[in-house]
Amino acid sequence: MCGIAGYYGSGNTCEVLLNSLKRLEYRGYDSAGIAVSSDFEIHIKKAVGELDDIKSDLDLKDKKSKAGIGHTRWATHGEVSEENAHPHVSCCGRFALVHNGILENWEEMKRELGEHRFTSETDSEVVVHFIEQRSQDGCVETAIREFMKEAKGSYSIAVLDSKREEVFVMKNGSPMAIGIGSDGLFFASDIHAFSEHTENVVFLDDNEYATVRGSELVVKNHKGKIVDKQPKTIKWSKKSPNKKNFEHYMYKEINEIPSVLRKLEKTLDRSQKNDLNKFRDMLKEHEKIIFTASGTSYHASLLGVYFLQKAGIEAQALIASEFKNYERADDKTLLVPVSQSGETKDVIEAVNHSRKKGADIASITNVPHSTIERMSDVNLRINAGQEICVAATKTFINQLYTIMRLSSSIDGANYNADLANALKNTIQKNEDKIKELAEELSDEEDLYIIGKGEAYPIAREIALKLKEIAYIHAEGMMAGELKHGTLALIEDNTPVVSLIPDGNSSIASNVKEVESRGANTIKLSPHNKDFWFPERNESFVFASTILGFLLTYWIAKRNGLPIDKPRNLAKSVTVQ
């Protein structure tokens, strides 16, 4: 979940690192730190808090340096503190290290390093002392290979060696990309960290490490054999994140939905048309279709199952973290991983597990050349661009649209050709009403959202947003399941939001059930005229989702919550 940045070049090392960390802060914002090598010594600064608040505490611009590493943290091992912040430094002061991932056997490794002085509670600090101890014969690469052999768990790691002014990076299970620029080499857990500097990128695969010294980049496998890595050209956002005239990234990204949807429409009709057709054919050819995803992407996967079932193709969706406990993958299976980042650890594990059983892989991702994309037989990019807010909004809508296009390419169903404009109107024509509703609901502690069919996954998605951004205990559920327990929680003025796409009589009876218990019912439906909806029925899932996003935003804003950086969360989940 943490963000790793590094640089070796002729630019201002401190400035490059801080700019990179700002671009990676969505991966974690508990604390941050940087280390540079200057005059063959490590100079390090770190602090607790968000980067904008602690940036002056991390200033090392007065240190003339060619090489440095940085880190923005999402706490896993050890509380949020300056001692637990990265980088960590070896006892002798020669090495500094940053780490993303979880080292599962860190306690065992720590016991074998008993003479070393530990200053943190983290698993990560163990690695820098391990490298120090195993490098006593003078060969750092030997120490790295020994670590890769003995370590259990996931990691992307950067090690700064002040004695040789050299940087080492290694990877297993967590992402690591190396940018090749005209003024130096960049490395990070996300290409967005250095996309303003270069479009030429080398991606490390599992059990590989790289040495960086001067302009020289050498990649080797865990046995020390050189690996030929050809750079890929990546088109990704060069500009630093900018809210423009919006107060929060979430609100900006909701308002970007129409434009990014239009961009996706064009690519599916043009540059991605062949991949769309290949994906469609693979769906038709396989006996078993299994979607796997986490969080918001899982809700998109549930819609994928619904759409494909309507198109005559049997499918199922499995939460990635429980995939191995429920899957029945084989050589007749097409696995469909859905992931915004393409780096979600649980999803990658599901892909690896299914591949070993002979399954084919057809994925839906956002970030170009991500791990999941590179593991797939075919991939569709949702082209939503960089998303900074932890809450997935524009990426969820583009996931839904991609899945809808796949299903419509199978059954020939028409879809709203002007959906982007319809969603623009959805935002503009409903915002005032949503603000009023947000004020009404802003003091609520519990809220229920009910739906059937295609509205059920949307109910779950809206509930997730209310939990993670508005800090409201919200439950999204199948309307028909109310009578099997949840009705016991309904009392006077309990808010229940019902998603009613087509005047369905059965969900109408569910609404009556909660109303008879005194619930405060809010109907999101094109039939009661309280809210504006596009005329076409297939637009309902998109429009109701956007209403849920806006409701979440305005409740959180009214309550003064940290909308873009909610407590305890990070955007890209690269640990299990």
Marked catalytic residue, from 66, 452, 465, 571: 571
Residue 114 dihedral angles phi and psi, to the nearest 5°: -60, -30
Whether the CB-CB separation of 521 and 514 falls below 8 Å is answered with yes
| Alpha carbons 524 and 455: distance in angstroms, whole number | 10
The CA–CA distances, whole Å, from 180 to 425, 441, 480 equal: 43, 50, 55
Whether the CB-CB separation of 290 and 305 falls below 8 Å is answered with no
Omega of the bond leading into 534 within 30 degrees of 0 (cis): no
Which strands, in side-by-side order, build the sheet including 208-213? 88-89, 95-103, 153-161, 166-172, 208-213, 216-221
Q: At what angle do helices 394-411 and 295-310 cross, to 10 degrees?
A: 20
The C-alpha angle with vertex 368 and arms to 280 and 552, in degrees rounded to 5, equals 85
Place of tokens 């690695």: 127
**For residue 273, what is the enclosing H or E element?**
helix 273-285
If one counts every other C-beta atom within 10 angstroms of the C-beta of residue 40, the result is 11
In 249-390, the DSSP E strands lie at 288-293, 315-319, 333-339, 360-365, 378-381
Whether the CB-CB separation of 380 and 276 falls below 8 Å is answered with yes
Marked catalytic residue, from 2, 22, 220, 465: 2
Is 2 marked active-site? yes
Return the CA Rg of the chain: 25
Residue 163, both tokens: 């004695």
Regarding beta strands 495-499 and 520-524, do their DSSP bridges make them parallel or antiparallel, or are they unpaired?
A: parallel
In 22-134, the DSSP E strands lie at 31-38, 41-48, 67-73, 88-89, 95-103
**For residue 359, what is the enclosing H or E element?**
none
Is 571 marked active-site? yes
**For residue 169, what is the enclosing H or E element?**
strand 166-172
| Alpha carbons 295 and 122: distance in angstroms, whole number | 27
Catalytic site residues? 2, 571
